[in-house]
């Protein structure tokens, strides 16, 4: 019985150790970023725009996308000191089309839904096919902030295919939020294996 107890304890520790190793973020620990569908969005401050506004760089990578897809629109909200900024311009990556700020509202599978709601601004008009290596940098021009942006939330994004979703909560200069995987499944597997060996010994 003592051997079974120690086997269970060792397997439990192993399960938690594996869970800890599995929670490595796909974003660099020094970056402010989020990932979904194999696409990573990294935000950095671009400094003042020279006319009282501020710039935010959004760097997009997607070499690990599983199926072919195209990023066609996204919606951003950018803040400073709790104040929401107004996105007045965007410079998209060279060779990816004519990206424009359509207005205030979310984006959908058909592009931007400019309805004046929310504090996010929809950008579309271009297209970036994935998977492919390399990075694509957008420069977002924001006004109406009391200081340099300290938050850039990717409220939603939509592509022509399957890279889609809703994500929030990325702050410029802040570390990314890491998710802790649930170790229960690994623990249950370990307990089951330990129990199986115990039952086999009891029957013999």
Q: What percentage of the chain reaches a pLDDT higher than 70?
A: 59
Angle at alpha carbon of residue 92, lines to 64 and 28, rounded to 5°: 40
* pLDDT tens digits along 156-177: 666 555 455 544 444 454 433 4
Residue among 88, 37, 39 nearest 59 (CA): 39
Strand partners, 144: none
Confidence of residue 21 (pLDDT cuts 50, 70, 90): very low
Note whether residue 191 is domain-resident: no
DSSP-H helix ranges across 85-160: none
**Region of poorest pLDDT, from 31-45, 150-164, 187-201:** 187-201
Report whether pLDDT(180) > 60.
no
Note whether residue 111 is domain-resident: yes
Note whether residue 181 is domain-resident: no
Confidence (pLDDT) at 97: 97
Ranked by mean pLDDT, the top range of 64-68, 96-100, 174-178, 198-202 is 96-100
Note whether residue 105 is domain-resident: yes
Confidence of residue 125 (pLDDT cuts 50, 70, 90): very high
Domain range enclosing 40 = 29-174
Note whether residue 190 is domain-resident: no
Confidence (pLDDT) at 4: 46
- Identify whether the C-beta of residue 27 lies closer than 8 Å to the C-beta of residue 176: yes
Which uninterrupted H or E stretch holds 193?
Answer: helix 184-203
* pLDDT tens digits along 76-122: 888 888 899 999 999 999 999 999 999 999 887 778 889 998 888 99
Note whether residue 81 is domain-resident: yes
pTM score: 0.69
Number of H helices, E strands in the chain: 2, 12
Confidence (pLDDT) at 170: 44
Confidence (pLDDT) at 103: 96
Place of tokens 């129990």: 195
Note whether residue 113 is domain-resident: yes
Confidence of residue 196 (pLDDT cuts 50, 70, 90): low
Q: What is the CATH number of the domain that holds 128?
A: 2.60.40
Report the domain count for the chain.
Answer: 1
Q: What percentage of the chain reaches a pLDDT higher than 90?
A: 31
Residue among 196, 200, 183, 204 nearest 14 (CA): 183
Task: Sort strands 54-62 and 39-48 into parallel, antiparallel or unpaired.
Answer: antiparallel
Kindly give, in sequence order, each residue whose CB lies less than 8 Å from that of residue 66, ignoring residues fewer than 6 positions away. 38, 131
Mean pLDDT, rounded, for 13-21: 41
């Amino acid at each position: 019985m003592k051997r079974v107890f120690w086997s269970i304890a060792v397997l439990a520790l192993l399960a938690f150790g594996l869970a800890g190793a599995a929670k490595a973020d796909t974003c660099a620990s020094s970056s402010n970023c989020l990932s979904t569908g194999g696409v990573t969005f990294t935000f950095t401050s671009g400094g003042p725009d020279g006319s009282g506004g501020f710039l935010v760089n959004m760097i997009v990578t997607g070499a690990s996308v599983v199926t072919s897809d195209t990023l066609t629109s996204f919606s951003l909200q950018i803040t400073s000191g709790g104040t929401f900024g107004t996105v007045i311009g965007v410079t998209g990556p060279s060779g990816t089309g004519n990206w424009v700020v359509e207005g205030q509202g979310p984006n959908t599978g058909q592009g931007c839904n400019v309805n004046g709601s929310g504090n996010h601004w929809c950008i579309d008009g271009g297209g970036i096919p994935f998977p492919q290596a390399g990075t694509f940098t957008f420069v977002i021009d924001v006004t109406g902030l009391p200081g340099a942006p300290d938050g850039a939330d990717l409220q939603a994004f939509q592509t022509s295919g399957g890279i889609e979703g809703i994500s929030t909560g990325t702050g410029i200069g802040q570390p990314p939020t890491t998710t802790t995987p649930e170790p229960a499944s690994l623990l249950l597997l370990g307990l089951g294996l330990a129990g199986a060996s115990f039952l086999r010994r009891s029957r013999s």
